[in-house]
Structure 1
Amino acid sequence: MPGIPSDLPWNQTLGETVPPNTPHAVSVSLPTWKSNVAYEEGERWVLDKMQCGYPRFFIHRSIERLAQNIVQQHGSPDIDKVMLFPTKNAARRCKDFFQRQDPETDLSNIRILEFLPNPEKMPSAKRVLPRVVAYVYSKELWPLAKAFWQHTGEGISSRHAEFCQRALDDGLMVEASCISRPDTPRMSKGPRRYQRHVSVDHDASNGVNGHSNLPTPSSTEPGVPDSAQFVEERFGRHLDVEFAAQAKLAIRRRIAGSLTTDEELPQSLHTAADATNERGKDIPGFSVDDVYLYPGGMNAMFHAHRSLMLARGELPSIMYGFPYVDALKVLEKFGPGATFYGYGSQAELDDLEHRLESGQKFLALFCEFPSNPLLRSPNLKRIRALADKYDFAVVIDETIGNFLNVHVLPYADIVWSSLTKIFSGDSNVMAGSTILNPQSRYYAQLKHIFNAEYDDTQFQGDSVCLERNSRDFITRIQRVNCNAEIIAETLRSHPAIKQVNYPKYSDTRPYYDACRLPNGGYGGLLSATFHHIEDAQVFYDHLQTEKGPSLGTNFTLASPFVILAHYNELDWAAQFGCEANLIRFSVGLEDKEQLKKAFALALSAIPPRETAA
């Protein structure tokens, strides 16, 4: 490995939050190639410096603190660990996972503890009430707990943990067995579906973009922080229920397409009237009631798969195209398995059609549009035709393409997305969504399952943050599209680079263009494979952008993606085109000339190679 320019200022940020000084950041700075490798190998010089990490791979300090406090009060610290969930149902699914993965495991010591508002110190009913579920298990079962937590995204968020920790410290939240008075008011589980119709904009003159219930800091208050920090610090403790409900409904309307600009926040909240919008203009019957929120993208995908199995039975699935790692794990570990078509090729669709003709049955085909990190687009028209003929569902992850660039709902039975990414942009909140297509042959079955099974587990504080972040989603997408094309062109012109992966330059572009909207672009994500891994290392170490996991940030973020996602299976990933010398770029909102300069400088650091005579 070449020498690491550790003296360079942009490589002095190891372990810091990305963005800097962000308490709930979803990325962490891994500024050199060596630090990424060391992270994967568990070297202390990296791990000991990490202030955070991607939330499904790194337990946030606030979650760890709450878990440790619960163990100390209700368990045995020497033998027990705790995994925190928003509901008992999630904790029970974790226990079921333990049993399926290791039937010989002794689960007799596992306990599920529910923490609820203390009725003796009941806060105002207008405030969000603290509640959390602790899954107490033996330490030796940590690998199973970690796998469930990582694959499913069922755990609580860092904001949720901080909220409950404050309630626990203040005596506002207690373990359920402590609530013994017969006259204690019944604790409401909270809304299982989005049924409450509250106005997002009672009076536009009383708030910003329809948020009339968001209090404005008094100019007489000393030391009042900026608006984002104000919400985090002051109203994280005293969050208004109605305000949080407004935020969730605004998010769902934005996803449905009925909020197309900041100025179009609705006056009426009767969701059935939202059938006519950009997303559903060619989907009769579509409304905001078909949009569901989750605490993360993988959680949305996990529940899409789970709901389909409840609706159609436990059939094997299809993973088409090289996917994000946990998506394949969900299909393999939480059902009867999956047929994996890692190339996303037409030949693989031919093979699938042959299997279908021979009578093989499948639950659903899962795919990304386009894929991460190779940015290849599946032939959705052919996939839809096969699904209609042979009776299987189509589930599409539109995170990378995003619904302002592409329109994939007509081809899908379910569309899911990670709202953590460009929908938010600020890299400080986890969220996901699922959309049901009312024209799907499985719609009635799925709607019945969702009505019975869906839990709204997105923490209200996360909803407020996400709504604020997503208000300028439209204008950000336009700029990101433009900047990404510029960077793709810059990289394509350099001889050290073997291949630039971007929908515009892929051999699957016709399939992308078939779903691209008239004003849609090719997205903000691309990747580049270098001829030599040494050149990739030099380039990465000299690139003056943020460097860490995640994507879809308002700032440019680079990552040696295959090293991070597939370090223990590099040869397996390489056979599908995901080579170790691949670097993924999530292009942000920076000035295009500054971006070009940063990439050009990093390319210029690559030493020239002698060509054969």
Structure 2
Amino acid sequence: MPGFVTDLPWNQTIGDPVPANTPHAVSVSLPTWKANVAYEEGEAWILDKMQCGYPRFFIAKPIERLAQAIVRQHGDQQSDKAMLFPTHSCAIRCKDFFHRQQPKIDLSSLHILDYVPHPEKGPSAQSKKVLPRVTALVYPKELWPVAKSFWQHTGEGISSRQADFCQKAFDDGSMVEASTVSPSGTPRLSKGPRRYQKHVSVDYGIPPAAITNGHADGNGTATAEVGAPDSVQFVEERFGRNLDVTFAAQARLAIRKRIAGSLSANEDLPLSLEKPSDTDAVNERSRDVPGFSVDDVYLYPMGMNAIFHSHQALMHARGELPSVMFGFPYVDTLKVLEKFGPSTTFYGFGSAEELDDLERRLEAGEKYLALYCEFPGNPLLRTPDLKRIRSLADKHDFAVVVDETIGNFLNVHVLPYADVVVSSLTKVFSGDSNVMGGSLILNPQSQYYGILKRVLESEYEDKQFAEDSIYMERNSRDFITRTHRINHNGEAVADILRSHPAIKQVNYPKYGPTKQYYDACKLPTGGYGGLLSATFHRMEDAEVFFDYLQTEKGPSLGTNFTLSSPFVILAHYNELEWAAKYGCEATLVRFSIGLEDNEVLRKTFESALSAIPKGDRT
């Protein structure tokens, strides 16, 4: 394994946030091939340098600090750990997951603790300020792998911003465990520390969640849409316990309108909300889906959380039937279907032959809950035949759930072929790599629309923390212009890589046998996106190229800056042989192309390619 390139200046950032000096960064620097392998093997020299990580794979330090403080207060530091969630129902789902994964577990060892505003020290129930609240599931340390699995697969955990916010309230006593508050609202007298408190189901001091535009505000505060100034200075000054919940509600509404296509103005709140709908955007976004509106858009704290809840909602609506995963997926989508449903049929190539096999099964009487697919897939960028899938679904009664994160709804229009569309807003919608978010869209023309709407009316919780919503809204205002530039840059980099003999294959929606399926859903003004990957003939070539490449390097995608990763090493290190069967070889490097000057990008990639030793690659 080449080691001399680790001395290059751009490779001296191991474990740093990406972007640099970002307190709530979504990515982390793993700048060399060796660093990625060491991370996967759990070597101390790399883990000790990790200041942050991708939020579903790495428990952020603010979250860990608050969890440890709660264990010190209500658990045993030697034997317990805690997982933190935005709502009580999330903790219940985690507890149920423990029981499914470990049927012999002693359920009395699992304790749910709800933290709520102190009735005297915290904000009043009528306050327009965001209220501190968090739910902890305290569990035995030996069950950490199960807890981590739930955290990673479902995206149900709190964000680092919420942890920071609640830590301040915890430290000064303005947020307390619910059982320490009496029904009258006065603190209960305590005779000293107790290991656990009996759960109290009512969050005293928190009013019922208000409803705004059909959505409950998961922060337990009124969400009346009142005008509020919006500027960087205003938002920064109001962070902390002075954040006005009405401003957060406006941000969420703006995000949903932006996703629906009825808001494209790059302007401050509330001015942008007061403008009439952008009719051109509406017609383009919903031209084939009559009845579609902002009320069909639901927000989640992470993209994977939207996928998880789409599966939960479908099982609520249709029963616990098996699902289909079509195409090689992002790892956790398949895990959600496998671990939270009865069974899963996996078609890893996403080919016509696999659709033939599915059709034979359906004709033989097999029943399915839903077919999940990505448009296009990650990291091979293959595109499913949505028209044929839709035809099979209509004939044989199963739902179609499409993850459009990679294509994104400014490039492709998949809603007419889907019952549910999910997306990670963390990616290009945000771009700044400093906040997580997800969305779920219902197709009003779906046969399941009515029942899914009823399920979501009773089960949906708006769990995205207020500060995260504000960051997401601000980041997404220039989503349209950024997308067009990223499309242009993505094509340019793909062409550079395709011309080099060291590269075995470039994966990009514009090229390859599935281009026709992408083009069938591509909007007239859309492009092929900024995500691509390249497989090298030789491992040593991939390593040298990656180490010499002067881009940011770490997990995630859709960033405003180019971000590179040896994706298969990072996502499938313990199953490399399995991944290779589906074309995901260990030499694959994935690139998320950003907003850099096109000429700068060209020189960056050509320079790294020139570092590859010339020689026989057969």
1:538 aligns with one of 528, 538, 544: 544
Shift in CA distance, 147/518, structure 1 to aligned 2, threshold 3 Å: same
Instruction: Trace 1:452-531 onto structure 2 (pairs within 5 A).
Output: 452-531=458-537
How far residue 168 of structure 1 moved from its aligned partner, in angstroms, is: 1.1
Whole-Å separation in 1 of the counterparts to 2:137 and 2:322: 29
Three-state SS of the structure 1 residue aligned to 2:401 is strand
Whole-Å separation in 2 of the counterparts to 1:191 and 1:571: 50
State the AA in 2 paired with 1:133: T
Shift in CA distance, 163/505, structure 1 to aligned 2, threshold 3 Å: same
Shift in CA distance, 611/515, structure 1 to aligned 2, threshold 3 Å: closer
State the AA in 2 paired with 1:258: S
State the AA in 1 paired with 2:209: G
How far residue 274 of structure 1 moved from its aligned partner, in angstroms, is: 12
Query: What is residue 104 of structure 1 aligned with on the other side?
Result: 104
* Runs ≥4 residues deviating over 3 A: 183-186, 195-200, 230-234, 268-271, 273-278
State the AA in 1 paired with 2:160: S
State the AA in 2 paired with 1:172: S
Three-state SS of the structure 2 residue aligned to 1:130 is coil
| CA offsets 1:42-86 (integer angstroms, 9 cap, x no match) | 001100001000000101000000000001111111111000001
How far residue 456 of structure 1 moved from its aligned partner, in angstroms, is: 0.7
Whole-Å separation in 2 of the counterparts to 1:277 and 1:288: 13
1:37 aligns with 2:44: no
Whole-Å separation in 2 of the counterparts to 1:318 and 1:461: 36
Query: What is residue 120 of structure 1 aligned with on the other side?
Result: 120
% identical equivalent positions: 70
Instruction: Trace 1:207-606 onto structure 2 (pairs within 5 A).
Output: 212-214=228-230, 227=232, 231-232=235-236, 234-262=238-266, 265-267=272-274, 276-606=282-612
Whole-Å separation in 2 of the counterparts to 1:16 and 1:281: 45
Whole-Å separation in 1 of the counterparts to 2:337 and 2:468: 27
Contact 1:375 1:506 in 2 (8 A): no
| CA offsets 1:273-319 (integer angstroms, 9 cap, x no match) | 99955322321111101100000000000000000000000000000
State the AA in 2 paired with 1:296: M
Whole-Å separation in 2 of the counterparts to 1:115 and 1:269: 41
1:168 aligns with one of 167, 170, 174: 170
Contact 2:121 2:173 in 1 (8 A): yes
Contact 1:191 1:455 in 2 (8 A): no
Q: Which moved more, 1:233-242 or 1:128-137?
A: 233-242
Three-state SS of the structure 2 residue aligned to 1:93 is helix
Three-state SS of the structure 2 residue aligned to 1:278 is helix
Shift in CA distance, 248/269, structure 1 to aligned 2, threshold 3 Å: farther
Whole-Å separation in 2 of the counterparts to 1:344 and 1:371: 9
2:206 aligns with one of 187, 197, 208: 187
1:608 aligns with 2:610: no
Shift in CA distance, 147/197, structure 1 to aligned 2, threshold 3 Å: closer
State the AA in 2 paired with 1:65: R
Three-state SS of the structure 1 residue aligned to 2:120 is helix
| CA offsets 1:471-497 (integer angstroms, 9 cap, x no match) | 000000000000010000000000000
How far residue 112 of structure 1 moved from its aligned partner, in angstroms, is: 0.4
State the AA in 1 paired with 2:274: Q
Three-state SS of the structure 2 residue aligned to 1:523 is coil
Three-state SS of the structure 1 residue aligned to 2:463 is coil
How far residue 266 of structure 1 moved from its aligned partner, in angstroms, is: 3.1
How far residue 236 of structure 1 moved from its aligned partner, in angstroms, is: 3.0
Contact 2:223 2:245 in 1 (8 A): no
Contact 1:83 1:134 in 2 (8 A): yes
Whole-Å separation in 2 of the counterparts to 1:489 and 1:17: 30
| CA offsets 1:579-607 (integer angstroms, 9 cap, x no match) | 00000000000001111001000000000
- For structure 2, list consecutive stretches of 5 or more residues without a partner in the other structure: 187-203, 217-221
Shift in CA distance, 354/27, structure 1 to aligned 2, threshold 3 Å: same
Whole-Å separation in 1 of the counterparts to 2:139 and 2:229: 42
Query: What is residue 161 of structure 2 aligned with on the other side?
Result: 159
Contact 2:119 2:185 in 1 (8 A): no
How far residue 262 of structure 1 moved from its aligned partner, in angstroms, is: 1.8
How far residue 265 of structure 1 moved from its aligned partner, in angstroms, is: 2.3
Whole-Å separation in 1 of the counterparts to 2:77 and 2:608: 49
Shift in CA distance, 191/455, structure 1 to aligned 2, threshold 3 Å: farther
Three-state SS of the structure 2 residue aligned to 1:528 is strand
Query: What is residue 196 of structure 2 aligned with on the other side?
Result: none
Three-state SS of the structure 1 residue aligned to 2:510 is helix
Contact 2:538 2:617 in 1 (8 A): no
State the AA in 1 paired with 2:353: A
Three-state SS of the structure 2 residue aligned to 1:476 is helix
Query: What is residue 223 of structure 1 aligned with on the other side?
Result: none
Aligned residues: 589
Whole-Å separation in 1 of the counterparts to 2:130 and 2:536: 51
Contact 1:197 1:270 in 2 (8 A): no
Q: Which moved more, 1:304-313 or 1:71-80?
A: 71-80
State the AA in 2 paired with 1:169: D
Three-state SS of the structure 1 residue aligned to 2:314 is helix
| CA offsets 1:329-357 (integer angstroms, 9 cap, x no match) | 00000010110000000000000000000
Whole-Å separation in 2 of the counterparts to 1:352 and 1:183: 58
Whole-Å separation in 2 of the counterparts to 1:41 and 1:233: 42
Query: What is residue 224 of structure 1 aligned with on the other side?
Result: none
Three-state SS of the structure 2 residue aligned to 1:159 is helix
State the AA in 2 paired with 1:266: L
Shift in CA distance, 290/536, structure 1 to aligned 2, threshold 3 Å: same
| CA offsets 1:249-276 (integer angstroms, 9 cap, x no match) | 00000000001232582327999x9995
| CA offsets 1:514-556 (integer angstroms, 9 cap, x no match) | 0000010000100000000100000000000000000000000
Shift in CA distance, 499/276, structure 1 to aligned 2, threshold 3 Å: closer
Contact 1:261 1:474 in 2 (8 A): no
How far residue 237 of structure 1 moved from its aligned partner, in angstroms, is: 3.0
Whole-Å separation in 2 of the counterparts to 1:270 and 1:92: 40
How far residue 107 of structure 1 moved from its aligned partner, in angstroms, is: 1.6
Query: What is residue 140 of structure 1 aligned with on the other side?
Result: 142
Query: What is residue 23 of structure 1 aligned with on the other side?
Result: 23
How far residue 233 of structure 1 moved from its aligned partner, in angstroms, is: 6.4
Three-state SS of the structure 1 residue aligned to 2:501 is coil
Contact 2:119 2:205 in 1 (8 A): no
Whole-Å separation in 2 of the counterparts to 1:69 and 1:232: 27
Contact 1:116 1:132 in 2 (8 A): yes
Whole-Å separation in 2 of the counterparts to 1:142 and 1:575: 31
Query: What is residue 11 of structure 1 aligned with on the other side?
Result: 11
Whole-Å separation in 2 of the counterparts to 1:540 and 1:300: 32
How far residue 108 of structure 1 moved from its aligned partner, in angstroms, is: 1.2
How far residue 106 of structure 1 moved from its aligned partner, in angstroms, is: 1.4
Contact 2:110 2:138 in 1 (8 A): yes
State the AA in 1 paired with 2:31: P
TM-score normalized by structure 2? 0.92
Whole-Å separation in 2 of the counterparts to 1:38 and 1:501: 26
Over the residues paired in the alignment, what is the CA RMSD in angstroms? 1.9
